[in-house]
Amino acid sequence: MPAPHPNMAILEQLDITDIDSCAHLFAEDVTFHYFNPELPEIAGAYHGIAGVKTFFARIAEESAGTFRVAQRGAWPVGDELVVVQTCNTLTLADEVIEVDVVLVWRFVDGRIAEVWDIPAVHTARTSPAT
């Protein structure tokens, strides 16, 4: 069996619930871009490991800790990029929201240098929270 792509192996170590333990996976000047017109208070660019931690803390706060990610697939693209498809769930304003997401991860020198998190907000599925 062939070894996994090196960038895929890096992503397999990532635990978004414990960014501190994964800080070594990120470049010092990492940038995390989050595009979401439905959550303008969170949308934007987050810089450095502190910025990445801030993003995940804000999404956890906005969702009262309900934010969950289910990976659907991941594909290396050359030696620099990995495209990941996820289905994320969270509760906002008494609604459970399920949204398809594509993330593009860029790697430089074996570390995560940049991330683009792009949710499909216009086709998100909602149901009342119980």
Distance CA 128, CA 112 (A): 36
> pLDDT per residue over 48-82, tens digit each?
999 999 999 999 999 999 999 999 999 999 999 99
Query: CA Rg, the chain, in Å?
Result: 15
Report CA-CA distances (Å) from 103 to 28, 59, 81, 107, 128: 20, 16, 10, 13, 27
CATH of the domain spanning 6-128: 3.10.450.50
Domain spans, the chain: 6-128
Split at pLDDT 50, 70, 90, the class of 93 is confident
- Say which range, 34-38, 82-86, 106-110, has the weakest mean pLDDT: 34-38
